[in-house]
Structure 1
Amino acid sequence: MSEIEFGVDTFGGVTQDAQGIPVEHPQVIRDLIDDAVLADQLGLDFFGIGEHHRPDFAVSSPEMVLASIATLTKNIRLGSTVTVLSSDDPVRVYERFATLDAASNGRAEIVAGRGSFTESFPLFGYKLEDYEVLFEEKLDLLAKLVTEKPVTWEGSTRAGLRSQRVFPTTANGLRTWVGVGGSPESVIRTARHGFGLFLAIIGGSAQRFAPYVDLFERAQDEFGIPHKPVAVHSPGLVAPTDEEARELVHDGWLKMRTRMGQERGWPAPSPGDFEREIEHGALYVGSPETVAKKIAATLGVLKVNRFDFKYDQPVTHAAHQQSIGLYGEQVVPMVKDMIS
């Protein structure tokens, strides 16, 4: 990754039709396959899909959707954002993505994480009190598996392995990242295992994440590990004008923040929060020029190798397609000019 890449990603959030009625999950999945095809046609570098197990998100198996996308695209890299490793089996994760890598001719990536929701723990029979040990052990095993060498491993969360190989092998290895929300411990763990750092910046200014990028570099130096890439992921929507973009996003953003607050004990949004998050925080909403300036400013304060635009706001699919189109055709070229 010698120059900055630009991607898009989605959690597979349920969209709405022109009347504001939620779209059924099967159509949402078909629509985001179309989104990936458009992103590939626009020359974007990456398309990511997140794993969730709840009614407001349509995708519970990113690899299946990405495999469908692989047959319809040529160049764009394909990955999970994220795979909830804590409630999955690292061997199966490696096998599925190695298979995707073969089907896509070497374009697969893994972004492993603990996930921002916990529904998968009871769904797959895991205890929340094991939250930390599950992720630590499974990430350690995944780090050994992606070397594609015989693996010997012992842990408390699954059966051990003795000189075990896993298949299929890949042609050039699997680019692997760890999704991090912003804890120093997670950054150091990512460095120790030799993975790329995938920073999820979903609130507040990008500037406050600069110490994590510096910590990642220092930790790799201390561990004697060659520097791995850093990616940033933030939400937004591009429309022809600032006013149109804000109008499209506002109501859905307010409902989402209110719902998440009720689930997690956050305070309800205050008047002006939406505007402040656009002006000074992690919400990239506006015209192509507005969004391009904000991305360029982010790249000016963070030493990163890729910016991923999380485009799936609770709007219509047509608004998503318009947003991706404007991002690929106007925003990315403007950002490249600004940072050159």
Structure 2
Amino acid sequence: MELGISMFGDLGADLATGKFQPTQQRLAEIIEEIRLMDEVGLDYFGIGEHHRPDYAVPSPEIVLAAAATVTKRIKLGSAVSVISSSDPVKLYQNFAMIDLLSGGRAELMAGRGSFIESFPLFGYNLQDYDALFAEKLDLLLTINKNERVTWRGKFRAPLDDQAVLPRAVNDELPIWIAVGGTPQSVVRAGKLGLPLMIAIIGGTPAQFQPLFELYKTTYLEHGHDPARFQVGIHSHALFGDHASELSNTYFPKYAAQMDRVGRSRGWPPYQRTQFDFGMSKHGALFVGEADAMADKILHYQELFGLTRFAAHMDVGAPAHRDIMKSIEIFGTKIAPQIKKALAK
């Protein structure tokens, strides 16, 4: 199982004034954090795309290109790229360049995104939400398989034997599908034979088990190679030396971010009881000490048959020093325990 970290580039906010941390500062911190992930031997880093004032990264490709120059072995991907409001040609070209800069370490994770700001920003109609994703994904996969492309669609000008260059190191990029838990999205990934990442950020993760079974069944029924089967989860995480101290320090920041998002979605205020349940063995938060977190990750690896676990580590913008500490614990304490257990 690959062990990695994802981020959205959350900007720290003053809880009294609501003023956000400078974007330039957070971007510099992210690059330092990715460098440390590489140094401690983690397998994967992913950065998400957002177009909101509380996030620093509208273009994952820029961060990943910078990260390619300061890392040696870690895989570098999006988490996610909102392909519905992107141009698949440019998206492939950008990630092919990251792949070339990094020596073949780039990945692209395609998703619909959990926010909608990119649609009006780039001139798309939300009423076309599903159709846009299906068409753009089709074009992206066609480009990934073919240097010269002839293609017709509804939302983009046609391509007539056009060369899409440069090409990735091995001509094709690894492309994952990220989903939030809808069966239709899981089935789509299984039919296409694409690796699947399921975001589990609340409730009881065990409730998601039928989706993993649905994905594997669909994948195999459509004749895809079992040896290439890949499935992962993305869950909110932060690691520390003392669980109670970490909990008390992190809860206010985490709750503030959940409430910022929740106000636009009609969610009730986030409660400490939710946070405490999330930290429990049966909850979706991976927040705590190394031994307990290694056991929790191994539990869900066995339950779901995971090939990748992504600790989403900057929700609510923990202090840079706390994220650096969390990365160090993940790479030097948690990952070795997990790899030793899985090697038995």
TM-score category of the 2 structures, normalised to the smaller one = over 0.9
Post-superposition shift, 1:271? Answer: 4.9
Alignment partner of 1:250 is 2:251: yes
TM-score (norm 1): 0.94
Other-structure match for 1:328: 331
Checking the alignment, whether the CA contact within 8 Å between 1:12 and 1:49 is kept in structure 2 is: yes
- Structure 1 residue 75 and structure 2 residue 73: aligned? yes
Distance 2:189 2:97 in 1: 24
Task: State the partner residue of 2:304.
Answer: 302
Counterpart secondary structure, 2:234: strand
Q: Is 1:37–1:72's contact at 8 Å kept on the other side of the alignment? A: yes
> Is the contact between residue 104 and residue 169 of structure 2 (CA under 8 Å) also seen in structure 1?
yes
Alignment pair present for 1:175 and 2:178 = no
Q: Which amino acid letter does the alignment assign opposite residue 269 of structure 2? A: A
Gap regions ≥5 residues in structure 1: none
1:33-82 Cα shifts (integer Å, max 9, x gaps): 00000000001111111111101110111111111110111100100000
1:190 partnered with 2:193: no
Answer whether contact 1:152 1:162 (CA < 8 A) is retained.
yes
- How far apart are the structure 2 equivalents of 1:57 and 1:63? 15
- Offset of 1:320 from its aligned partner? 0.6
Which amino acid in the other structure matches residue 60 of structure 1? Answer: P
Match of 2:155 in 1: 157
Equivalent AA in structure 1 for residue 155 of structure 2? T
User: Structure 2: how far apart are the matches of 1:162 and 1:225?
Assistant: 30
Q: How far 1:16 sits from its partner (Å)?
A: 5.8
Q: Which amino acid aligns with 1:321?
A: M
Give per-residue Cα distances to partners, 1:200-255, cap 9 Å, x unaligned. Answer: 11112222222222211221223222243112111111111111210122111211
Segment of structure 1 superposing worse, 226-235 or 30-39:
226-235
Alignment of 1:6-85 (within 5 A): 6-15=3-12, 22-85=20-83
Amino acid in structure 1 at the alignment position of 2:243: D
Structure 2: how far apart are the matches of 1:97 and 1:78? Answer: 10
User: In the alignment, what sits opposite 1:104?
Assistant: 102
| Aligned residue identity for 1:208 | Q
Change over 3 Å in CA distance of 1:170–1:271 after alignment to 2: closer
Paired residue type of 2:141? A
Tell me the number of residue pairs that the alignment of Structure 1 and Structure 2 aligns. 337
Identity %: 42
SS at match of 1:117: coil
Amino acid at match of 1:61: S
Aligned residue number for residue 286 of structure 2:
284
Q: TM-score, normalised by structure 2?
A: 0.93
Q: SS state of the match for residue 106, structure 1?
A: coil
RMSD of Structure 2 on Structure 1 (CA): 1.8
TM-superposed CA distance for 1:22, in Å, is 4.0
Q: Which residue of 1 aligns with 2:242?
A: 241
CA contact (8 A) 1:148 1:169 kept: no
Quick one: distance in 2 between partners of 1:60 and 1:132?
21
